[in-house]
Chain A
Amino acid sequence: MHEKMAQTFNRYRDVLPDYEGFLSAVEQPLPVSIRANTLKIDPGPFQGFMRERGYDLKPVEGIEEAFSMQGVESPGATLEYFLGYYQVQGLTSMLPAKVLSPRPGEIILDLCAAPGGKTTHLAQLMGDRGLVVANDFKKERTHVLRSHIDRLGILSVLVCCYSGQAFPLRRKFDRVLLDPPCSAEGTYRVGLAPTRSENPKVARHLVRVQKGLLQQGLAVLRPGGTLVYSTCTYAPEENEAVVNDAVKEGEAELLPISIPFSHSRGLPSWKEESYHPDMVKTVRLYPHQVNSWGFFIAHLRKRS
Chain B
Amino acid sequence: MPTFASEAERREILDYFSNRFGIPEKAFEGFCFLLGKRKIWVVRGHPELERLMKQLKFESAGIPLLRTKTSMWKPTTTGLHLFGLHATRNVIDLEGDALQAFLKREAIDGSLPLEPGFVIVRCKGKVLGCGIYGKGRLRSQLPEKRGEPFRGKLYPENL
Contact = CB atoms under 8 A, between A and B. Distances in A.
Interface in A101-130: 105, 107, 128-130
Given A53-B155, A77-B149, A155 B46 contact: no
Interface string B52-96: 110111111111100000000000101001100000000000000
Contact of A159 (B58, B76, B103, B158): B58
B134 interface: no
Contacts of B57: 160-162
Interface in A147-195: 147, 149-151, 153-162, 168, 170-171
Given A107-B48, A129-B44, A153-B81, A159 B60 contact: yes
Contacts of A150: 63-64, 76, 78
B42 interface: yes
A131 B48 contact: yes
A261 interface: no
Interface string A74-85: 101111011110
Nearest to B142: A82
B133 to A, nearest CB: 22
A29 B155 CA distance: 28
Contacts of B101: none
A142 B155 CA distance: 32
A57 to B, nearest CB: 15
Contacts of A78: 150
A155 B44 contact: yes
B156 interface: yes
A50 to B, nearest CB: 11
Interface string B78-121: 10011000000000000000000001000000000000000000
Nearest to B83: A153
Given A131-B48, A155-B44, A79 B154 contact: yes
Contact of B156 (A79, A157, A162): A79
A128 to B, nearest CB: 6
Contacts of A154: 62-63
Interface string A36-75: 0000000000000000111000000000000000000010
B159 interface: yes
A283 B55 CA distance: 35
Interface residues of A, number: 39
B59 A161 contact: yes
A133 B146 contact: no
B44 A131 contact: yes
A52 B46 contact: no
A156 B126 CA distance: 23
Contacts of A82: 146-147, 150
Nearest to B65: A155
Interface in B23-68: 31, 42-44, 46, 48-49, 52-53, 55-64
Contact of B44 (A79, A139, A156, A161): A156
B118 to A, nearest CB: 18
Contacts of A153: 63, 78, 81-82
A158 B63 contact: no
Contacts of B58: 158-160
A301 interface: no
Nearest to A146: B60
B81 A84 contact: yes
Nearest to A149: B63
A159 B158 CA distance: 36
Contact of A171 (B43, B44, B52, B153): B52
20 contacts: A52-B158, A53-B159, A74-B149, A77-B150, A79-B103, A83-B126, A84-B78, A129-B44, A150-B63, A153-B78, A153-B82, A155-B62, A155-B63, A156-B43, A158-B60, A159-B58, A159-B59, A160-B59, A161-B57, A170-B56
> What 5 A-B pairs are tightest by C-beta distance, nearest first?
A77-B149, A156-B44, A150-B78, A155-B44, A155-B62
Given A158-B60, A161-B57, 4 more contacts: A52-B158, A77-B150, A107-B52, A158-B58
